[in-house]
Structure 1
Amino acid sequence: MQWASAGERICSYMLEDHTGNWGLDLNQWDWVPGVGVIALLEYGRPEGREAVRSKLLQWVERNGSKAASARVINAMAPFAVYPDLYRETGEEALRDAVVRTADWMIGEAPRTREGAFEHTVTENVSFPEQVWADTVFMAVLFLARAARLTGSEAYAREAVHQVDLHLRLLQDEATGALFHGWNSGEGSHMSAARWTRANAWIAAAVPMIHKELAGLASLTDESLGRYRRLMRALAGYQRPGGLWTTVLDRPDFYEETSGSAGIACGMLLGIRAGLLEPELRTAADRALPAVLDRVAENGEVRGVSGGTPVMESVEAYGRIPCHPTLYGQGLALMLVAAEEEAEREQR
C-alpha cells in the first residue's frame, strides 16, 4: 500500500535533524512543531510504533521548558500531546503542565468581545480582537484533551463554547466554507479569503475534539450542523486531480498540499465519528493519492504554502511561496494515520 510506505518516510523525515530551519526544526516550542508532535502522536498510536512515542517523550524532555516563554494561544499546540504521554508514563509533571496551561487559557488568555480566544502569536506582532480558524486546532484541541484527562467540566464547556464561536464567526453563510479570520473590532472578515488551510484546521480538529469530549460534553447542534455544511461545501471545491487550491474558490491559484491533506483527514475522521455522511469518503479517497504523489522519496512533503497571517487581499494568498514544513509533514501524516485506522476497522 502506497500510503504505508509514505507514512514511514514522512515520519522519518520529520525526526531528522533540521536545526535552524524554521519550517522543519522540531526542537522549538511553537505551533509549527506543535502540529508536528500532534501528528507524530496520531501516527504513533498503533502497536509496534513505540519508538515514535518514545521520541515524543524525548522531545518533551528537550523542549518542555521552552513553553514558559511562549505563553500565547498559537503556541498551545504542543501541549496537546501531554495527556497521552502522562497516561503512558504517569509523570505528574506532565499532568501539572496540562492543568496549569488549561487554567491559563480559561482565566487569562486574551479574548475578543464575543469571548473567542484572540489569536496571539510568539512573533513580535499583535492581531487585536482577531479570531482565526487556526486556533481551533492549535488551542481548543488541547483544551478538550485536558478535559478528558482531568474530567473537568469547565474545560469541556469552554472547548464546546470556542468551537461554537469560531464556526459562527468564520462561516460564510453564502457558501458554507470558512473565512480565514474575523476582526471583532471592525466587524469584518478582513480580506474575506476562504483560505484552504484555515478550513483544514477546523475540518480535522472538530472530530478530534468531539472524540475527546465524549462522556463530558457534546458539541452543540449548531456546531455540528455548521460542521456538516462546511464539509459538504469543501467537497464541492475539490479539483479534478483530488487536491484543493490554496484559496478554495480560486481555481486559478496553485493546488496546495497541507490544506488538502487536512481536509481529507477531517473527512475520514468525521465519517468514523459518525459526524459526516459516508458519501464524503469518495472525496477523501481522491485526495489521498494526490497528496501522496507530493511526498518525495526522502519523505519531504512538497507543495506546502508558507505560514501566514490573514493577508491583505485574496490575491496575496496566491503569491505565498511553498516550502517544506512540519505542519505540511504533519497534516499529510495525519491523513495517513486516519487512512490506516479506517483500513483497520474494515478488516
Structure 2
Amino acid sequence: MRQTRSRNFNQIICAKALIFLFVLQANSQQKYFKDFPAKANPEKVGVQITERFLSRPHSTYGNPLKMHLPAPQITYPDVCTWLGGFWFTKATNNKELFNKLEARFQPLFTNEANLLPKPNHVDNNVFGTLPLELYMQTKNQKYLDMGMHYANTQWELPQDAKASEKKWADGGYSWQTRIWLDDMFMITSIQAQAFRATKDVKYLNRAAKEMTVYLDSIQLPNGLFYHAPAAHFSWGRGNGWMAVGMAELLRALPENNADRPKIMSAYLKMMATLKKYQAPDGMWRQVIDDETMWEETSSTAMFTYAMIVGVRKGWLNEKEYGTVARKAWITLTTNYIDEKGDVTKVCEGTNIGNSSEYYRKREGLTGDLHGQAPVLWCAYALTAPKL
C-alpha cells in the first residue's frame, strides 16, 4: 500500500512538473509571439489575407498584373496561399472561412476539372497538398484519392522520361529533381502531407533523402544556398523555399530518421546566418548577403515562418530568434500590407539569373501570391495551439 501511494505521489509530482514546464514555455513564447500591435494581430491579418484570396480569381502564377486573364491551371502560388488558408482556419477554428475555402475547391471536380495541373512537374505536383489537407480535415475519401495521386506520381517515372530523370529515379530520388531551391518546398510539402494523411513513413523517408541531395549540392558553408548550381546568388525567396521546406519536413520527421541530424544541422546553420543578415528594420533583402539590394517581403515572410516554427518546436533559442521573428512580423504587417490586404514589394516570378543585376531589377509587385502565401503561413504559425 505504501509503495502504491509513493508511486502515485511521484506520478503526481512528475505531472505537475510537466505542466509547470509547459506553462513556462508558453509564457516565454508569449513574450515574443503575443501582444502584437493592432496591425500585426495574426488572427486579423490571417482573416484579411484569406478573404483577399477568396475575392480574386485563380491566378496565373500569382501575378496580380495578369488577374484579368483566364488561369491556365491552378498554379503553385495559388496552392501555397490556399494551403495557408486551410492551416490558418483550422488553427483559429474559423469554420465559416474554411467552408468558403473548401467551396472554392469543389468546381475542380466538375466544371473546372480542366484546371487541375498535370502531375508532370515539381511545381504542379505540389497541388496535392490541398486535397490531402482537405482529407485530413473532413475525412472525405475523394480528397485522399486525388491528393495521393499527386504524391505518388512524383516518384513514378513516366514512360517518356528523359535520361536525366531516369538517373534520379534509379538512385531512389524523385524524377522531378532539378536542384533548384524552390523544389525543397514543392517536393517536401506534398510528401509530408502524404505521410500525415496515411501515416506511411515511406513518404517522409524519401523526402528526407531527397533533401540531402540539395543540401550537398547548393548549401554554402555559411548556411545560405545558391539559387541553383548554375546561379551562384543567394536569392531571397529561393532561400525562403528551402527554409520553409526544412521547417516543414523537420516538424513531421521522426526523431529516429537517419537523415534528420543532417537536415537539422543545415537548418540551424541557415537560421544563424539569416539572423546575421536581417536588416535593422527586421526585413531581409532580395539577395540576402548583398546589402545594396532592396528589401523584399516574400523572403522575409518565409524566414519569419521558419523561425517561428523553430522557436515553437524548441529547435531555436527563444530569446535570440523570437526577437528576430517578432521584429520581422511587425515590420511586414505594419509597413507592407495595404488596406486591401495585398502584400507589397513582392519579387515577381523569377527564373535562374546569371548576374546580380538580374535579381536587382526584378519588379516588386503588390498582391502577388508569392508574398500573400507566406504571410498567411506566419499567421497560422502564430495562432496554432500546436505545430
Correspondence for 1:328:
371
**Is residue 105 of structure 2 the alignment partner of residue 60 of structure 1?**
yes
- Could you say what secondary structure the match of 1:131 adopts? coil
Encode CA deviations 1:214-246: one digit per residue, 9 max, x unaligned. Answer: 489464211111110011111111111110110
Gaps (5+ residues) in structure 1? 120-128, 182-188
Query: Aligned in 2, Cα 1:18/1:93: closer, same or farther, shift over 3 Å?
Result: closer
Structure 1 segments (4+ residues) deviating >3 Å: 18-22, 24-28, 109-119, 213-219
CA distance in 2, matches of 1:264, 1:338: 10
Q: Is the 8 A contact 1:76 1:142 kept in 2?
A: yes
Identity %: 21
Residue 191 of structure 2 is aligned to residue 143 of structure 1: yes
Alpha carbons of structure 1 residues 96 and 335: separation in structure 2 relative to 1, 3 Å: same
Secondary structure in 2 matching 1:44: helix
User: Are the counterparts in 1 of residues 155 and 175 from structure 2 also a CA contact under 8 Å?
Assistant: no
1:296 matched to 2:338? The reply is yes
Determine the C-alpha separation between the residues in 1 that align with 2:237 and 2:208. Answer: 22
Partner amino acid, structure 2, of 1:133 = L
Partner of 1:131: 179
Larger radius of gyration: 2
Match of 2:284 among 244, 268, 271: 244
- Compared with structure 1, are the counterparts of its residues 320 and 274 closer, same or farther at alpha carbon in structure 2 (3 Å cutoff)? same
Task: Identify the range of structure 1 (192-201 vs 102-111) with the bigger mean alpha-carbon deviation.
Answer: 102-111
Counterpart for residue 126 of structure 1:
none
| Equivalent-residue separation in structure 1 for 2:53 and 2:40 (angstroms) | 16
Q: Distance in 2 between matches of 1:291 and 1:166?
A: 29
User: Hey, what does 1:11 align to over in structure 2?
Assistant: 50
Unaligned runs of 5+ in 2: 1-37, 159-164
**Greater alpha carbon shift after TM alignment, 163-172 vs 251-260:** 163-172
Supply the distance in 2 between the matched residues of 1:283 and 1:111 (Cα, whole angstroms).
Answer: 43
> Deviation at 1:38?
1.6
What amino acid does structure 2 have at the position aligned with 1:340?
A: T
Tell whether 2:348 aligns with 1:275: no
Partner of 1:89: 138
Counterparts of 1:115-264 in structure 2, within 5 Å, are 117=174, 130-173=178-221, 175-181=222-228, 189-214=229-254, 217=257, 219-264=259-304
Partners of 1:160 and 1:220 within 8 A in 2 = yes
Corresponding position of 1:44: 89
Distance in 2 between the 1:169 and 1:301 partners? 32
Over residues 38-95 of structure 1, what are the superposed CA-to-partner deviations in whole Å (9 max), with x where a residue is unaligned?
2112211124411232233223322363335353111222211222311332221211
TM-score calculated relative to the size of structure 2: 0.77
Mark the CA change 1:77 to 1:52 in structure 2 (over 3 Å): closer, same or farther: farther
- Which residue number corresponds to residue 5 of structure 2? none
Range with greater deviation from structure 2 (47-56 or 331-340): 47-56
> CA offsets per residue over residues 230-280 of structure 1, 9 Å max, x none?
111111111111101100111111100010011011000112122222221
Q: Which moved more, 1:286-295 or 1:152-161?
A: 152-161
Question: How many pairs does the alignment contain?
Answer: 326
8 Å contact 1:38–1:78 — kept in the other structure? no
